[in-house]
Amino acid sequence: MTPIAELAAHAKAGELALQRCTACGAVQYPPRELCLSCLADALEWRVSDHEPGKVLATTTLHHSHDPQFRSRLPLRVGLVRLDAGPTTVCFLAEDCGTGTRVVVSAETDDADRAVLTAAPVQAGAR
Ligand SMILES: [Zn+2]
């Protein structure tokens, strides 16, 4: 199974899977065959139901060439730096702005591809 297919399988089960290099400890997303930091192939999966992070930037999409997204426009998208290290592209909940602390979770789209969504950390949560 390719790393992207394995990511999608985890996402279908509601799990967010990041890769961790057992040689240097780097965490990466999206998954690849080799570590981005040291090129080792000693990668393990770090699986959770969500990962904490912070919104770095946001934008709003008003057009898409992908038919599955047209009925959902406008779509809010953002860059989220996960506390674990990687920066990800996520669909954003309404109340996520630059600097918002969020939790990122994974699901699959209509084509069974993994997509990430970010929602604000609830008051009282971590
Ligand atoms: Zn490494």
| pLDDT tens digits for range 82-103 | 999 999 999 999 899 999 999 9
Residue 122: per-residue pLDDT: 83
- Which residues, 6+ apart, have CB-to-CB distance to 112 below 8 Å? 8, 12
CA–centroid distance, 64 to ligand 1, in Å, is 36
Q: The tokens of 113 are what?
A: 């591809």
Per-residue pLDDT, 125: 55
> In the prediction, which pLDDT does 67 show?
87
Contact in structure between 117 and 109 (CB atoms under 8 Å): no
**Dist. CA 1 → ligand 1 center (Å):** 21
Task: State phi, psi for 73 to the nearest 5 degrees.
Answer: -70, 150
CA of 37 to the centre of ligand 1 (A): 5
> How many Å lie between the centroid of ligand 1 and the Cα of residue 30?
14
In a domain, 93, yes or no: yes
CB 34 within 8 A of CB 28: no
Residue 98 contacts residue 70 (beta carbons within 8 Å): no
Residue 72, pLDDT > 90, answer no
Is the residue at 100 inside a domain?
Answer: yes
Residue 86 belongs to a domain with what CATH number?
A: 2.40.50
Residue 66 lies in a domain: yes
- 12-16, 90-94, 114-118, 120-124: least confidently modelled range: 120-124
pLDDT surpasses 60 at 126: no
Domain count, the chain: 1
Rounded to two decimals, what is the model's pTM? 0.90
Name residue, tokens 């069974």.
112
| 62 found inside a domain | yes
Q: Rounded mean pLDDT of 93-120?
A: 95
pLDDT in tens, 46-65: 999 999 999 999 999 999 99
Say what the pLDDT of residue 124 is: 59
- Residue at 85 is within a domain: yes
Cα 41 to ligand 1 centre (Å): 8
Closest CA to 111 of 27, 8, 29: 8
In a domain, 126, yes or no: no
Residue 125 lies in a domain: no
Give the range of the structural domain holding residue 86, as residue numbers without chain letter: 3-120
Alpha carbon 68 to its chain centroid, in Å, reads: 19
18 CA → ligand 1 middle, Å: 13
Query: Is 32's pLDDT higher than 70?
Result: yes
Does some domain include residue 59? yes
For residue 46, report the distance from its CA to the centre of ligand 1, in Å: 14
